[in-house]
Structure formats: C-alpha cells, structure tokens
Amino acid sequence: MMFPTVADIKQFWDWQCYGPEDIAFYVSIGWISAEDYQNILEKYTKPNGFIFLPESR
C-alpha cells in the first residue's frame, strides 16, 4: 500500500494541513486523479471551477 492514500490526503485537507496547491501537486505527479482532487475540494469549489477558502484557512 502506498502512502498517502486518497483518504489520507483528504484527512490532511480536512485538518487544514494541506491547501489546494498541495492537493494539486499530488495530481501533477499522478498520485491521485483530477477527479480525486475535485472530490476532496468539492465543498470549496464554485460552479465556475474556482476554489475559494473560508476565512479560517
């Protein structure tokens, strides 16, 4: 098993350890898919595809 898994990356995102650029890095190296990226960031993605972050991030 390879680490981090998609679930691990999602957890790091939820804990605010990773930002969108960190998740994008995993896509760029082929570790996760673009679909995984969208699923991880989905509640922060506007209909136009732009990512927004809550003030607390």
The answer to whether residue 5 sits within a structural domain is no
Tokens for 14, please give them.
Answer: 């939820």
| Domain carrying residue 42 | 19-47
> Does residue 57 lie within any of the structural domains?
no
51 DSSP β-pair partners: 45
Residue 10 belongs to some domain of the structure: no
pLDDT number for residue 56: 47
Tens of pLDDT along 1-22? 789 999 999 999 988 899 888 9
35, part of any domain: yes
Residue 13 lies in a domain: no
Domain contains 56: no
**Number of independent structural domains in the chain:** 1
What is the secondary structure of 9-44 as a DSSP string?
Answer: HHHHHHTTS--HHHHHHHHHTTSS-HHHHHHHHGGG
Residue 27 has pLDDT above 90, yes or no: yes
**pTM of the entire predicted model:** 0.72
Give residue-wise pLDDT tens across range 28-53.
Answer: 999 999 899 989 987 666 556 566 55
On whether residue 25 sits in a domain, the answer given is yes
